[in-house]
Amino acid sequence: MAVDLATSEAGAGEPLVILHGLFGSKRNWSSIAGRLAEQRRVITVDMRNHGESPWDDVHDYPTLAADVTRLIERKVGGPVTVMGHSMGGKAAMLLALGRPELVARLVVVDIAPARSQSSPLLLVKAMRRVPLETLSRRAEVDAVLAEVIPDLAVRGFLAQNVVAEPAGLRWSVNLDAIERNGESIVGFPDIPPGTSFAKPTLFIAGGRSEYLRPEHHDAIVRLFPAATIETIANAGHWVHAEAPGPFLDLVSRFLA
């Protein structure tokens, strides 16, 4: 069943809904959203089991798309531009394919309509190792994560999910649901033959990422025949954070 997602809004004009990736939140997009809000109404979203949105045992793409459908129908009522990164990009693609009347344009950031190679379960396991009940600062969380995650950027990204409360630290992401639905998260639903989204679509790949590669282009063109595929050479999976200037240039030109 669809849930009511937590959102933040800025700007006015043509609506743009931004969906974050796994272990992300609407806060991760605040800088990009602020720039884009100079020209349009930007709605950033916490997906279910993340940030300030409700937790639920079910975490698959039909349900994620249903959550966003509910949000668009209640907050906007008409077609919007939808931009999604990684997990949010898969949800955005499924929404556009299933309810094209709600989507005017689509931006998909570093993800393909296919099974992903990287599993979230290793990150879930690393996060579970952190004894939050004995810690008081994010720096201490980073130190524990460093024992199994050498990449400073990945540790910093995960640590953003730590919330400080009077009772102590807690994760703002539902690790149980993510672990239970891991196969659904890395997969992509089977799309009925003949289904496509024919409106303008932009795919943005990170040149150093494995999530969106040339071997995915046939599937993209089949499902999104009006798609343009761009690559930002020096960026990895978090394209918008690693190369915000080139990313904003591509998105702004597409939206214009």
pLDDT by residue (tens digit) across 150-169?
A: 999 899 999 999 999 888 89
* Nearest one of 115, 116, 114, 118 to 218, comparing CA atoms: 114
Burial class of residue 200 (count of CB atoms within 10 Å of its CB; 0-12, 13-18, 19+): middle
Q: What pLDDT was estimated at residue 119?
A: 83
What pTM was computed for the model?
Answer: 0.96
In a domain, 211, yes or no: yes
Who contacts 13 (Cβ-Cβ below 8 Å, separation ≥6)?
39, 40, 41
Residue 65 pLDDT class (50, 70, 90 cuts):
very high
- Domain limits for position 234: 7-116+187-255
Residue 40: pLDDT over 90? yes
Number of domains in the chain: 2
Beta strands in the chain (DSSP E): 7-10, 15-19, 41-45, 80-85, 103-109, 162-165, 168-171, 201-206, 227-232
Residue 216 pLDDT class (50, 70, 90 cuts):
very high
User: Average pLDDT, stretch 202-226?
Assistant: 97
State pLDDT tens for residues 121-152.
889 999 999 999 999 888 999 999 999 999 99
Check whether residue 104 and residue 213 sit in a common domain: yes
Check whether residue 70 and residue 133 sit in a common domain: no
Check whether residue 204 and residue 161 sit in a common domain: no
Residue 1 pLDDT class (50, 70, 90 cuts):
confident
How many angstroms separate the CA atoms of 188 and 24, rounded?
Answer: 19
Q: What pLDDT was estimated at residue 178?
A: 97
Q: What pLDDT was estimated at residue 168?
A: 86
Pairing of strands 80-85, 15-19: parallel
The encoded tokens of residue 66 equal 């249903």
Catalytically active residues are 86, 176, 237
